[in-house]
Amino acid sequence: MEDTKKMRLDRFLTEMGAGTRSRIRDAAKNGRIRVNGVVEKRTDRKIDPASDSVTFDGAEVAYVQFEYYMLNKPAGVVSATEDRIHTTVVELIGERKRADLFPVGRLDIDTEGLLLITNDGELAHRLLSPKRHVDKRYLAVVDGRLPADAKERLREGIVLSDGTKTLPADLKEAADAGNLSGILPDGGGEDSGRAAYILTIHEGKFHQVKRMFETLGCTVTYLKRLSMGSLVLDAGLKPGEYRMLTASELARLKESTR
């Protein structure tokens, strides 16, 4: 278990998703919380998560300081922690222990692919900091034909419709990007009037990938994020599925953002 400092019982239970502080106070008054086997009615008491045993309604509450999940975000789900209309990406993480998870960055509601879900604010800041220029790689299926100089223009940075100039980006035909089995959607290719590309950018402006292709005269009909920094989407994860990051994935991710 991670090294932790002593913390208030109500904070511990709130962070572990047991409920609001008022709900936890009510539960304590009714004898539903035990610390080391003894009923505890004072929720402001300090506990050591590394050594004290806490149960809520008879179920042990294990403390986890940080959680890291790789999610293959499906279309129709919003990159948020709460929403009154749509399902959020955090709600898809059924095994989460902490109540303070959030997505690192955003994908549009119709965009699929890699999202890191965590409560590690420091790592998230490093991944999203404009100064670090972390690579983000996307698969884009587009309608229309790109100009012959599209790669060169993207490599130099293009000016979007609002006058914003993008950082240099790298464009490849999807066929040149290696094995995309299980990733490339059906319906692409020359015969359909659509083509698939891999675009790597180093920033994350609003609707950036779609706006970049629009500037080049094409419309994005399908968009999926394949990687972010050293973290690559597990091809075995179907849309809506997730898994915890492996120790090596997390170590590489932290090392690459130092």
Per-residue confidence (pLDDT) for residue 4, from 0 to 100: 55
Number of domains in the chain: 3
- Is residue 1, in this structure, part of any structural domain at all? no
Residue 51, judged by CB atoms within 10 A of its CB (0-12, 13-18, 19+), counts as: exposed
210 and 88 both lie in a single domain: no
Half-sphere exposure of 141 (CA within 13 A, CB side): 18
Per-residue confidence (pLDDT) for residue 175, from 0 to 100: 77
What is the span of the domain harbouring residue 41? Answer: 7-60
Which residue in the list 52, 83, 100, 108 is annotated as catalytic? 108
Per-residue confidence (pLDDT) for residue 194, from 0 to 100: 78
CATH number at residue 18: 3.10.290.10
141 and 224 both lie in a single domain: yes
- Is residue 2, in this structure, part of any structural domain at all? no
In this predicted model, what pLDDT tens digit does every residue of 68-122 receive, in sequence order? 999 999 999 999 999 999 999 999 999 999 999 999 999 999 999 999 999 999 9
* CB of 60 closer than 8 Å to CB of 54: yes
- Is residue 167, in this structure, part of any structural domain at all? yes
145 and 171 both lie in a single domain: yes
- Is residue 83, in this structure, part of any structural domain at all? yes
Q: Does 176 participate in catalysis according to the annotation?
A: no
Per-residue confidence (pLDDT) for residue 186, from 0 to 100: 55
Half-sphere exposure of 35 (CA within 13 A, CB side): 19
Compute the distance between CA of residue 257 and CA of residue 203 in angstroms, rounded to an integer: 14
pLDDT at 201 over 60: yes
186 and 76 both lie in a single domain: no
Measure CA 188 to chain center.
Answer: 27
Mean pLDDT computed over 186-204: 74
In this predicted model, what pLDDT tens digit does every residue of 158-188 receive, in sequence order? 999 999 999 999 999 987 555 555 555 554 4
202 and 176 both lie in a single domain: yes
